[in-house]
Amino acid sequence: MPDDRLLVHELINLHGHLVDEAAFDRLGEVFTADVVYDVTALGGSELVGPTAIADAGRTLGPRNPVGHHVTNVVVTRLDRDDATAVSKGIGVMTDGTVGSVVYEDTLARTVDGWRIARRRVLPRVEPLRPSGA
């Protein structure tokens, strides 16, 4: 399963490259067709499907980060057809401010390879506290 771990890492990293380049038509390479992208902890909602994620990105327009940087990817569980992972996200805004989040991902192996089936985005706003607190 070491190859699967690498594939999961690369999949999680691909997300930032695609959204930063506005390659929203390629989000199906990262997410399942019925993905639930939960940004309720950021004041948003649960977005269902890659199209809803793309629409949200387009709606934000210039308020999007100029860079989504993913770090500290840890695959917490890896089975034959599903996995979980946690990672850190750093968003760099056009004015130079920076924000930090935690991504909690549930992944599924599909006929096209690994895809994120559920992502929960939790803000990091205070040191030494649980994410989203």
Indicate the domain borders of the chain.
Answer: 2-124
**Predicted pLDDT of residue 46:** 98
> Exposure of 86 by Cβ count < 10 A (0-12 exposed, 13-18 middle, 19+ buried)?
middle
43: left (phi over 0), alpha (psi -120 to 50) or beta: left
Q: What pairing do the DSSP bridges indicate for beta strands 98-110 and 82-92?
A: antiparallel
- Return the residue matching tokens 């034959």: 80
Q: Please tell me the distance from the alpha carbon of residue 103 to that of residue 110, in angstroms, as a whole number.
A: 21
Place 27 in a pLDDT band, splitting at 50, 70 and 90. Answer: very high
**Percent above pLDDT 90 for the chain:** 96
pLDDT category of residue 1 using cuts at 50, 70 and 90: low
Q: Of the CATH numbers 3.10.450.50, 3.30.1330.10, 3.90.1710.10, 1.50.10.20, which one belongs to the domain with range 2-124?
A: 3.10.450.50
